[in-house]
Amino acid sequence: MNLKGLATGIGSLPFCDAQKAVDLVFCSVPCVPFWPQLPKRDMREGMIAQFSENLPGLKMNEQGLRFELVDKEKELEVFYEKFLEQDLSYFKLGPDFAEGLYTFYQRLKALKTADLSKIEFIKCQVTGPFTFCSGINDPGGKSILHDEVLMQAMVKGLSMKALWQLDYFKEFGKKIIMFFDEPYLTSVGSAYTPVNRNRVINILSELTEGLRNSGCLVGIHCCGNTDWSMLMDAEGIDIINFDAFEFQERFVLYADDLNRFLKRGGIICWGIVPTQGYVASQTPEELTRKIKSGLDILVQKGIDRDLLLERLMISPACGLGTLEAQKAEGILSLLNQTSMFIRKIL
């Protein structure tokens, strides 16, 4: 597997028009296109709400997502019945919650009759369980991260949301990359979070258990700094995606863990194109130099350069859904140019 600079996106884009979003995806990241999340189109496409359908206690109304578990035992019984049956249709993302996904599917369908040869991977995504549960409070105002029973149900439900996507896109015959987006992991280690390192490893290993035999690659995206070694120790994680523009110097401190991760087939996706810090004057040469400086440090610490390059992907540092459209377009254009430059120069 020689990835060497292949580019993909994180997920969210700041458009209401799904066709326009999909156009931009295929123009900017043609080798690893992703279905776009469109939070500005509808509140149901928000990071938590988008994956909430049919999960215990979660309901949407005109005010947004609410948590209301009237009969906890009954709702969990129905949920686990569907989970044990592996009823993928029960865990689908409906069109009202993910218009970009269905528009993306139709574009692939149209390309299927023409030419899918440029596409090396199809990239999908789900909000990770820590971020998902931290965004949901019980009636007492307490995050359901503290409720072990509900947390376990959400882990299983989100895993099924991923499996549904794999099944939905399998007809195109492309290997799928499934990202779990986990910005909450920046909080691990704080005295104010109920999550510790072992819990992260155990839950991520459980989350990916059902995906391991599917043939997909599983990635974790975290756009802040965290204990990166715990992601490398979790079973079933193939790709680690980090904000290389802001946190490269901290990430390379984990050289020994990274070496083991790469040797067992791991991939590093460098979020090298800044999102909040993007300015139009930034160039592919500048961003490539920054990645090269990180690679040089890792090589000095004993990691094989060829292995680093073979397992190197790039992305924006974070999702683009909150930005202005023109800025998002500029970021994805710079990403595309940087990918081509890396593949030519490094």
What is 159-225 written as a DSSP string? HHHHHHHHHHHGGG--EEEEEEE-GGGGGTT-TT-S--HHHHHHHHHHHHHTTTTTT-EEEEEESS-
Residue 191 has pLDDT above 80, yes or no: no
Percent of the chain whose predicted confidence (pLDDT) is above 90: 87
**Residue ranges of domains in the chain, CATH in brackets:** 6-345 (3.20.20.210)
The dihedral region occupied by 141, where left means phi > 0, alpha psi between -120 and 50, and beta the remainder, is: left
> Out of 58-72, 216-230, 297-311, which region has the weakest mean confidence (pLDDT)?
58-72
One-character DSSP codes across 170-187: GGG--EEEEEEE-GGGGG
Q: Quick one: which of 279, 280, 269 has its CA closest to 317?
A: 269
State the average pLDDT over residues 226-230: 96
Residue 277, pLDDT score? 92
Where does 25-144 show beta strands of DSSP type E?
58-61, 64-67, 121-127
Residue 345, pLDDT score? 83
State the average pLDDT over residues 208-231: 94
Residues 163, 64, 145: CA angle, nearest 5 degrees: 60
* Predicted confidence band of residue 198 (pLDDT cuts 50, 70, 90): very high
Tokens for 179?
């990202």
Residue 329 has pLDDT above 90, yes or no: yes
Model confidence over 126-168: pLDDT tens digits? 999 999 999 999 888 889 999 999 999 999 999 999 999 999 9
Residue 115, pLDDT score? 81
Tokens for 120?
């090396």
Q: What is the mean pLDDT of the chain?
A: 95
Token look-up 């050289």 returns 255
**Amino acid letter, 5:** G
Model confidence over 98-117: pLDDT tens digits? 999 999 999 999 987 778 98
State the average pLDDT over residues 315-330: 97
Residue 2, pLDDT score? 83
Percent helix, percent strand, percent coil in the chain, to nearest 5: 50, 15, 35
Burial class (CB in 10 A: 0-12, 13-18, 19+), 309: middle
* Predicted confidence band of residue 213 (pLDDT cuts 50, 70, 90): confident
Burial class (CB in 10 A: 0-12, 13-18, 19+), 331: buried
Tokens for 219?
């990635």
Which of residues 332 and 193 earns the better pLDDT score?
A: 332
Distances (CA, A) of 251 to 58, 268, 291, 309, 330: 36, 11, 12, 16, 26
